[in-house]
Amino acid sequence: MNPMVDMAFLLVSFFMLTTTFKTEEPVAITLPASQSEVKLPESDIMVITLAEDGRIFFGIDSKHQRVRLLQLMSQEYDVPFTEAQVQAFSLVSTFGVSIQALPDYLDLPPSERKSVIQPGIPLSDSLQNELYDWIVLARMVNPNLRVAINGDATTKYPKVKRVLNTLQLARVNRFNLITNLEQES
C-alpha cells in the first residue's frame, strides 16, 4: 500500500507542477462553432480578442516578450513606464486599454484590474491605429508569433472586418480563428 500512496503523490505533484492554468480573460467570449480540429501551438501566440460589443483586447504569451513589446510601444508613443508598471505588464496576459491609459491601469492592484471595464484598444482608420502598432511591434519582438483571433460568435461583421484589415495592413495573411468544436448531431 505504501508504494501506491507514494506513486499517487508523485503523480499529483507531477501534474501540479506541469499544468499551465488558463489565464483570466478580461471579457466573456461565446466562441463560434466549427468542425476544425486544428490545435493552437502552446507558445509563440498573439491573441486578438473581439468582444461582442466590438471592444478589442490584445495579448502575447511570453512574459519577457511582453516587457520588450512595452518598451517599444513606450518609445513609439512617448509614454513612460515605471519599473513597477513594466513588472505589472509582464504579468498581464490580455489587456484592452489605450497606451495612454495603460500606466494608470497598471498602477491598479491586480484585484482591482479585474473589475475595471476596459474600453478596448483603439482601432481607428486614421494614422493612429494602436492595434496595428501592437501587432507590428510584437512581430518585431518575436517574428515567429502566430496570430489567433478569439472572437465572440455574436460580434458584428464590420468590427471583425476592421481587425482583418488591420492584420492585412500589418502583412499578416495567416491567422487562426479560435472556435469550439461543433458537436455531431
pLDDT band at 79 (very low <50, low <70, confident <90, very high): very high
Grid coordinates of 90: 509582464
Statement: 29-62+92-98+117-181 belongs to CATH 3.30.499.10: no
In this model, does residue 104 exceed pLDDT 60? yes
Residue 17: CA atoms inside 13 Å, Cβ hemisphere, count?
6
Domain boundaries, the chain: 29-62+92-98+117-181
In this prediction, residues 56-66 reach a mean pLDDT of 93
CB 119 within 8 A of CB 27: no
Global pTM reads 0.81
Contact 72, 140 (CB under 8 A): yes
